[in-house]
Structure 1
Amino acid sequence: MLDVLTDADYELFRKVIYDESGITFSATNRSILDSRIKEMLRKKNLNTPQEYYELISKDPEEMKIMLDAVTTNLTRFFRNQPHFDSFVNYVIPHVIENKKTSSDHTIKIWSAGCSTGEEPYTIAMIMKEICPPDFNFHITASDISLKSIMTAQQGFYPEARVDGVPENYLSKYFTKVDGGYQIKDEIKKTIHFDYHNLKNDSGARNLDVVFCRNVLIYFDEPAQLAVINHFYDAMGPKSYLYIGHSESLFGMKTNFEFIKTEWACFYGKGVSK
Structure 2
Amino acid sequence: MSDFLSDSDFTRIRDLIYNESGIHFSDSNRTILESRLKERLKLQNLESIGEYYKSLTKSDNELKDFLDSVTTNLTRFFRNQAHYDTFINYVIPDLVERKRQSGDKKISIWSAGCSTGEEPYTNAMVLKEHLPPDFKIEVIASDLSLKSLMKAKEGLYLKSRVTGIPDNYLNKYFTEEDNSYRVKPEIVKLIKFDYHNLKFGNDMRNLDIVFCRNVLIYFDEPAQKNVIDNFWNSMAPHSYLFIGHSESLFGMDTQFKFIKTDWACIYGKIQN
TM-score class normalised by the smaller sequence: over 0.9
Q: Is the 8 A contact 1:174 1:182 kept in 2?
A: yes
- Report if aligned partners of 1:24, 1:220 keep a CA contact under 8 Å in 2: yes
Structure 1 counterpart of 2:205, one-letter code: R
Partner residue of 1:218?
218
Secondary structure at 1:94 match in 2: helix
- Provide, for residues 181-206 of structure 1, a one-character-per-residue CA deviation record: whole Å limited to 9, x for no partner: 11111110000000000001121000
Q: How many aligned positions are there?
A: 271
2:111 pairs with 1:111: yes
Q: Distance in 1 between matches of 2:217 and 2:4?
A: 25
Please give the residue correspondences for 1:75-224 in structure 2 after superposition, counting only pairs within 5 Å.
Answer: 75-224=75-224
Give the corresponding residue for 1:6.
6
C-alpha separation in 1, matches of 2:46 and 2:57:
15
* Structure 1: 5+ residue stretches without partners: none
> Cα deviations across residues 20-72 of structure 1 (Å, max 9, x unaligned)?
00000001111110000110101111111111111110111211111001111
Q: How far does residue 271 in structure 1 lie from its aligned partner after superposition?
A: 5.6
Partner of 1:264: 264
Q: Secondary structure at the match of 2:137?
A: strand
* Residue segments in structure 2 that go unaligned for 5+ positions in a row: none
Distance 1:4 1:167 in 2: 49
For 1:52-111, what per-residue CA distance to the aligned partner results, in whole angstroms no more than 9, with x for missing partners?
Answer: 111110111211111001111000000000000000000111111121122321100000
Q: Specify the SS of the correspondent of 1:140.
A: strand
2:29 maps to amino acid = N
Question: CA offsets per residue over residues 146-175 of structure 1, 9 Å max, x none?
Answer: 000000000011111111111111111111
Task: Kindly report structure 1 stretches of 4+ aligned residues shifted beyond 3 Å.
Answer: none
- Aligned residue identity for 1:67: L
Task: Output the CA distance in 1 between the equivalents of 2:98 and 2:5.
Answer: 53
- The answer as to 2:246 corresponding to 1:246 is yes
Query: Match of 1:11, as an amino acid?
Result: T
Q: CA deviation at 1:223?
A: 0.2
Match of 1:127, SS state, is helix
Please give the secondary structure, in 2, of the residue aligned with 1:139: strand
Look up the SS of the partner of 2:266 in the other structure.
strand
AA aligned to 1:148 is S
Provide the C-alpha distance between the structure 2 equivalents of 1:77 and 1:202, rounded to a whole number of angstroms: 26
How big is each residue's C-alpha offset from its partner over 1:229-266, in whole Å with a ceiling of 9 and x where there is no partner? 00000000000000000000000000000000001100
CA distance, structure 1, for counterparts of residue 73 and residue 14 of structure 2? 19
Mapped to 2, the partners of 1:41 and 1:104 lie a distance apart of: 52
Q: Take 1:151 and 1:136, find their aligned partners in 2: how far apart are those partners?
A: 25
TM-score, structure 1 as length reference: 0.97
TM-score (norm 2): 0.97
Q: 1:237 matched to which residue of 2? A: 237
- Quote the Cα distance in structure 2 between the aligned partners of 1:103 and 1:48: 61
Is this contact kept in 2: 1:98–1:238, CA < 8 A? Answer: no
CA distance, structure 2, for counterparts of residue 57 and residue 27 of structure 1: 23
Supply the distance in 2 between the matched residues of 1:121 and 1:268 (Cα, whole angstroms).
23
Match of 2:228 in 1: 228
CA RMSD, 1 decimal: 1.1
Q: Give SS of 1:32's match.
A: helix
Q: How far does residue 179 in structure 1 lie from its aligned partner after superposition?
A: 2.4
The alignment partner of 2:124 has SS state of helix
